């Protein structure tokens, strides 16, 4: 067992293979990027293939290969299930899958794991049923959890080698010029898929909207695409926005958002030309609304906002309060429409968004990030991966990427959720190290990381209750009681890569309840 610098115990076999976390900026060395195989296409060749079955044969998919998907359709994705069903039927086994994330809609994956079709997974997230199945130990090899920036890095550096990328294409021509702006299931930005298209040996576009050549704008160019397959439906447009971007009326979330906005307004980062990222959780979304009022009051405009783009950010752009949106993914239809209609709403790929080993990612330019959390501990470590019962149900997303790089990282979360405390002695799983978190905002007040003495001094007269993180934890435990720690077995079900590829934590299978 090896302890990393935040005290997490990593089994030696994994520590040797990946290295352990030594600090947010510990790794910085030049490297050679991976390269994709190219199969040239000549004028008489056609890229159109009749079925998913035929294209799997054409690309020569074999046992043991790695295939990838993108999660821009979120809960509305049909592509991964369609492709895996065909692969299972054809008897191909022992595959590694490298989707940018996995949603509830991908529940059939559980059967493909059990039948040996899929034996390795790397993903940003694993939602309810798939997460619970993985936590119960159905896989021999642990899932590798990577952040959005970390995945882009791993692909570019060759840690993930994609043999075949299957890309759901809301619109494409028969030569493979793809965008997510037009069609039945529009998703807007294709930022995660752009990385796969550049580095996969074979790239297959799956579409329900074949348009005349040339299809523009070109998010993924014909020069990256081998084949195109037409199917009835690649996704459910309603599913793309499901579960996110609700406009909160919850008084707890509103007061958290109000505190967070006051904090940002009072900070030295709030000046003309500032930049920000807000997440898609209820409180995080509401921050955008309160921030808008502050921007109007002080006549301050933001240079750009980044993300995970949501409707409130689009409204700021349209009202001239934000100059540009840089967009790796859209969380609702309004945002997907905006990227098509507004030239200041601009698509970027996952590497440019957040890779730690790029020639400078956009997150490096962000002033203020507002992120959410399932758990925060008294060392400011954040968990967005496992529930308080230790079972996998969340996603790493861009959390650690944005938190590390932005100048002020604000985590918004209620002190308790039902009987579950959010501020705890020790989080079940660390996704983002405490060194990256500057301020925690709850409905009872805020706690500033003691490492940020400059913020503590600057925010002295801020009109929001200020407590230590220990005092916040004590308040939570006083209401709900002291929770018993989860008992874990030794079986590792997931490895948590930090964005630089080192292991910041592992997830173990929970044990039986100690009655």
Partner 1 sequence: MRLQHQAIAGTTESSDIQIMIEPNVENEIAINLDSSVQFQFGKQIKQVIQDTLTKLGVTSANIKAIDRGALDCTVKARTLTAIYRAADVTDEIDWQVID
Question: What is d(CA 193, CA 176) in angstroms, rounded to the nearest whole number?
Answer: 13
As measured in angstroms, the least distance from the Cβ of 105 to partner 1 is: 24
Residue 158: helix, strand or coil by DSSP?
A: coil
As measured in angstroms, the least distance from the Cβ of 250 to partner 1 is: 13
Q: Which residue has the tokens 């494409």?
A: 172
| 42 contributes a contact to partner 1 by CB under 8 A | no
Piece in contact with partner 1 (CB under 8 A), picked from 106-114, 185-193, 258-266, 414-422 = 414-422
Residue 431 CB-half CA count within 13 A:
32
Residue 296: helix, strand or coil by DSSP?
A: helix
Residues in the chain: 515
Q: Which of 307, 482, 492, 490 is nearest to 392 (CA)?
A: 492
Tokens of 488: 């874990």
The crossing angle, in degrees rounded to 10, of helices 311-318 and 333-341 is 30
As measured in angstroms, the least distance from the Cβ of 511 to partner 1 is: 10
As measured in angstroms, the least distance from the Cβ of 235 to partner 1 is: 31
Question: What is d(CA 327, CA 330) in angstroms, rounded to the nearest whole number?
Answer: 7
Tokens of 294: 């502050």
Beta carbon nearer to partner 1, 30 or 513: 513
As measured in angstroms, the least distance from the Cβ of 252 to partner 1 is: 13
Beta carbon nearer to partner 1, 36 or 486: 486
As measured in angstroms, the least distance from the Cβ of 418 to partner 1 is: 3
As measured in angstroms, the least distance from the Cβ of 123 to partner 1 is: 25
- Choose which of 419, 450, 453, 465 interacts with partner 1 (CB under 8 A): 419
Question: Contacts with partner 1 in 438-497 (CB under 8 A)?
Answer: 479-481, 483-484, 486-487
Beta carbon nearer to partner 1, 387 or 397: 387
Q: Are strands 420-421 and 416-417 parallel, antiparallel or unpaired?
A: antiparallel
Beta carbon nearer to partner 1, 100 or 422: 422
As measured in angstroms, the least distance from the Cβ of 113 to partner 1 is: 24
One-letter-per-residue 3-state SS of 457-474: HHCCCCCCCECCHHHHHH
Question: What is d(CA 385, CA 389) in angstroms, rounded to the nearest whole number?
Answer: 11
Question: Contacts with partner 1 in 313-372 (CB under 8 A)?
Answer: none
Beta carbon nearer to partner 1, 269 or 488: 488
Residue 508 CB-half CA count within 13 A:
14
Residue 101: helix, strand or coil by DSSP?
A: coil
Beta carbon nearer to partner 1, 142 or 390: 390
Question: Contacts with partner 1 in 1-30 (CB under 8 A)?
Answer: none
Beta carbon nearer to partner 1, 140 or 419: 419
CB 323 within 8 A of CB 302: yes
CB 346 within 8 A of CB 324: yes
As measured in angstroms, the least distance from the Cβ of 388 to partner 1 is: 6
| 132 contributes a contact to partner 1 by CB under 8 A | no
As measured in angstroms, the least distance from the Cβ of 168 to partner 1 is: 35
Q: Which of 142, 164, 178, 90 is nearest to 508 (CA)?
A: 142
Beta bridge mates, 171 = 179
**425 exposure class (CB count in 10 Å sphere: 0-12, 13-18, 19+):** middle
Residue 404 CB-half CA count within 13 A:
23
Beta carbon nearer to partner 1, 204 or 416: 416
| 510 contributes a contact to partner 1 by CB under 8 A | yes
As measured in angstroms, the least distance from the Cβ of 96 to partner 1 is: 32
Q: Are strands 9-10 and 2-3 parallel, antiparallel or unpaired?
A: antiparallel
| String of contacts with partner 1 for each residue 369-398, x by CB under 8 A | -------------------xxx--------
Beta carbon nearer to partner 1, 307 or 414: 414
Vertex 338 angle, CA 165 and 181, to 5°: 35
Beta carbon nearer to partner 1, 64 or 481: 481
Piece in contact with partner 1 (CB under 8 A), picked from 131-139, 401-409, 418-426, 436-444 = 418-426
As measured in angstroms, the least distance from the Cβ of 389 to partner 1 is: 5
CB atoms under 10 Å from CB of 15, counted, come to 18
- Choose which of 418, 457, 461, 490 interacts with partner 1 (CB under 8 A): 418
**Number of residues this chain uses to bind partner 1 (CB under 8 A):** 16
Beta carbon nearer to partner 1, 158 or 481: 481
Question: What is d(CA 45, CA 282) in angstroms, rounded to the nearest whole number?
Answer: 50
Beta carbon nearer to partner 1, 235 or 387: 387
- Choose which of 420, 456, 458, 471 interacts with partner 1 (CB under 8 A): 420
Give residues in contact with partner 1 (CB under 8 A): 388-390, 418-420, 479-481, 483-484, 486-487, 510, 513, 515
């Amino acid at each position: 067992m090896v302890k990393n610098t935040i005290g997490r115990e990593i089994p030696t076999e994994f520590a040797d293979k990946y290295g352990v976390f030594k600090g947010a900026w510990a790794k910085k060395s030049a490297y050679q990027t991976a390269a994709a195989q190219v199969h040239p296409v000549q004028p008489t060749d056609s890229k159109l293939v009749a079925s998913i079955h035929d294209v799997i044969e054409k690309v020569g998919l074999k046992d043991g290969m790695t295939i990838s998907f993108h999660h821009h359709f979120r809960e509305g994705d049909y592509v991964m299930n369609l492709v895996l069903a065909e692969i299972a039927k054809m008897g191909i086994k022992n595959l590694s899958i490298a989707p940018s994330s996995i949603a509830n809609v991908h529940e059939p994956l559980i059967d493909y794991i059990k039948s040996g079709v899929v034996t390795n997974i790397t993903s940003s997230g694993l939602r309810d049923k798939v997460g619970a199945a993985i936590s119960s130990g159905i896989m021999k090899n642990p899932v590798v959890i990577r952040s959005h920036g970390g995945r882009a890095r791993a692909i570019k550096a060759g840690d993930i080698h994609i043999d075949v990328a299957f890309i759901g294409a809301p619109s494409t021509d028969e030569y493979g010029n793809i965008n997510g702006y037009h069609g039945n299931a529009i998703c807007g930005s294709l930022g995660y898929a752009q990385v796969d298209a550049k580095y996969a040996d074979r790239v297959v576009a799956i579409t329900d909207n074949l348009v005349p050549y040339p299809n523009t704008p070109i998010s993924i160019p014909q020069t990256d695409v081998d084949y195109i397959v037409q199917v009835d439906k690649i996704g459910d447009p309603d599913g793309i926005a499901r579960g996110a971007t609700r406009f909160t009326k919850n008084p707890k979330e509103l007061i958290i958002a109000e505190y967070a906005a006051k904090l940002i307004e009072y900070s030295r980062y709030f000046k003309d030309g500032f930049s920000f990222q807000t997440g898609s959780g209820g409180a995080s979304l509401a921050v955008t609304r309160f921030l808008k009022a502050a921007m109007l009051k002080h006549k301050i405009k933001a240079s750009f906002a980044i993300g995970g783009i949501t409707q409130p950010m689009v409204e700021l752009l349209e009202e001239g309060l934000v100059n540009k949106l840089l967009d790796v993914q859209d969380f609702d239809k309004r945002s997907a429409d905006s990227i098509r209609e507004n030239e200041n709403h601009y698509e970027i790929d996952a590497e440019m968004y957040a890779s730690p080993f790029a020639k400078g990612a956009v997150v490096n330019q962000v002033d203020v990030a507002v992120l959410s959390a399932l758990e925060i501990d008294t060392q400011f470590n954040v968990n967005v991966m496992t529930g308080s019962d230790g079972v996998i149900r969340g996603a790493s997303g861009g959390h650690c990427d944005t938190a590390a790089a932005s100048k002020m990282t604000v985590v918004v979360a209620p002190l308790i959720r039902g009987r579950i405390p959010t501020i705890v002695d020790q989080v079940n799983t660390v996704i983002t190290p405490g060194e990256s978190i500057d301020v925690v905002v709850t409905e009872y007040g805020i706690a500033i990381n003691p490492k940020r003495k400059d913020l503590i001094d600057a925010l002295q007269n801020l009109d929001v209750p200020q407590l230590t993180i220990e005092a916040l934890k004590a308040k939570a435990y006083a209401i709900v009681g002291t929770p018993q720690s989860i008992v874990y077995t030794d079986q590792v079900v997931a490895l948590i890569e930090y964005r630089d590829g080192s292991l910041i934590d592992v997830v173990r299978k929970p044990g039986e309840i100690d009655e």
